[in-house]
Structures are given as C-alpha cells and as structure tokens.
C-alpha cells in the first residue's frame, strides 16, 4: 500500500469509503477490505454505520495499529453541549479508544466553525483522535481553520470532471493533503470515451485509470466506495503500472467543473 508522509505522519493513499453501506454488508465490506490489503477506512456520524465499521475492524485479523480510521462530526453537533459527547458516542459505537483522523464533516457559520475547531483540538488533546482535519471547506475557511487547530487535510469531492487545482496548491503549500471522495464520477467513468481509451491502452478498467491518476498526484488520498469484493479488489490493483505525463494531462483536460455532491448546505465554493 502506498503512503503519504504529511507532517511526519504516514497516511495510506487509497481507502474504503463506506457512505451508504449499512448493516452486515458494511461489516463484511470493512473486514474484507482489510483482509485484501486496505489500511484506510472512512466513515462518519452522518452515515449511521460507525458500529458496523467498528465491527468490521474487530472481525479482521489486521491489528488496530495498522488501520487508519477516519470519522466525521455532524454539523448539528457543532455546539459546546454536543460536540465532545457526539465524538465519545462515535467511539462507543466503533468500540475503539481513538480514531486516527477526526474531521468536521461540512462547514457551518464562521462562529460555529470556530467553536467546532476549538472542540476538535480538545478531542485531540483528550486522545480521542490522533489527527484532525476538515471536509468540504473552502480555501478561505481553511485559512481560518489553521489558526485554531493543526489541520492536516481537507476531504473534498475530486475527480477528472472537477478540478481542485487551487485547493491542491494551497494544501501542498501548507503541508496538508486532500482526500478525494466520489473519485469515480458516480459511475460516469464507464461512458467516458477518453477514459475508455486509456483503459484499453493500459489493459485496465476506467476506474483503475482514474484511481491511478489520483495516486500519482502529490498529497492526494482517495476513498472510493466499493460494496462488492470484486470492486474493492479492482480498486486496490493499481500499484503495478504508471500513467505517462501525457496520460495525466489528458485526464486533467477532462475537467468540466462538475460537482455530483451539491446538498443545500454546501458552502459557496468560489469564496
């Protein structure tokens, strides 16, 4: 498994996203992913599957110290009363003493974000998490966040149809990394002619081409969702080939500034 070295920490670059995987399917997916060689698992309070993720980790013979686990705090818990108890509840559900990375899932108002960042740092000081970060923050929000906590990453939507060049430049300059969610274009990769041509050229799937493209970028990790063991295995089978610089630029040129994740509470991405 490939790793990033960020702020003297080793971060696996390819993980399993568990959004909308629930029940025993989730437990089996996590356990099987770890058995296949995954070392990064991503969950969230919002997903309602932390207990199942924790059970999957317990079911695998992989030692806890070799699993990099991320969870995220719901925006509605960005209060003095709710924040730390919600994290303690996440740990109870996971049946773990700590997570490796604790994120603010979506930004709220500047005032609420400041409070949440202070409480995020408090969770780190309590040993509830090794590292802290944010998700879906704009660059302006990141600048503010860095003043309040030792942020190590920003988890955002990133794929060939959505350029994150400015964000990547900012994160690189500040020794942080980007975790790409929804990296496989919500399935649109299978009908993309350019990606299909590259897949044929390298005797790979379109998904493997996109994930390899992400892995060859500095300071980038990715957490594709994969409910089936076959898809998980395919996603992991990307470390024995390389894309040329021309291939990389061809994929970068697919940008359409297209977002697939656009909830009503999204921030203004241009600010």
Residue 205 contacts residue 178 (beta carbons within 8 Å): no
Give the integer Cα–Cα distance in Å for 102 and 110.
Answer: 19
R_g (Cα) of the chain, nearest Å = 18
List the catalytic residues: 47
Phi, psi of 261 (to 5 degrees): -110, 105
Are the C-beta atoms of residues 220 and 178 closer than 8 Å to each other?
yes
What is d(CA 173, CA 161) in angstroms, rounded to the nearest whole number? 24
Q: Is 115 left (phi over 0), alpha (psi -120 to 50) or beta?
A: alpha
């Amino acid at each position: 498994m490939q790793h990033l070295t960020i702020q003297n920490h080793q971060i696996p670059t390819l993980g399993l996203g568990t959004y909308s995987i629930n029940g025993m399917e989730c437990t089996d997916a996590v356990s099987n992913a770890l058995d296949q060689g995954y070392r990064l698992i991503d969950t969230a309070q919002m997903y309602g599957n932390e207990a199942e993720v924790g059970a999957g980790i317990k079911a695998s013979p992989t030692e806890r110290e070799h699993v990099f686990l991320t969870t995220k705090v719901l925006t509605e818990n960005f209060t003095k009363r709710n924040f730390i108890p919600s994290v303690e509840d996440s740990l109870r559900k996971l049946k773990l003493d700590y997570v490796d990375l604790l994120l603010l899932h979506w930004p709220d108002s500047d005032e609420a974000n400041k409070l949440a960042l202070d409480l995020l740092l408090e969770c780190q000081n309590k040993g509830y998490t090794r590292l802290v970060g944010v998700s879906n923050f704009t660059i302006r929000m990141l600048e503010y966040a860095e003043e309040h906590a030792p942020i190590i990453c920003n988890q955002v939507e990133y794929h060939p149809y959505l350029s994150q060049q400015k964000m990547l430049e900012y994160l690189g300059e500040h020794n942080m990394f980007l975790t790409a969610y929804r990296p496989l274009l919500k399935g649109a990769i299978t009908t993309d002619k350019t990606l299909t041509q590259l897949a044929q050229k390298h005797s790979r799937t379109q998904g493997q081409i996109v994930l390899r493209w992400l892995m060859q970028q500095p300071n980038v990790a990715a957490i594709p969702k994969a409910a089936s063991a076959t898809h998980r295995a395919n996603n992991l089978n990307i470390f024995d080939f390389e894309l040329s610089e021309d291939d990389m630029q061809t994929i970068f040129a697919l940008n359409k500034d297209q977002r697939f994740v656009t909830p009503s509470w999204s921030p203004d991405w241009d600010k």
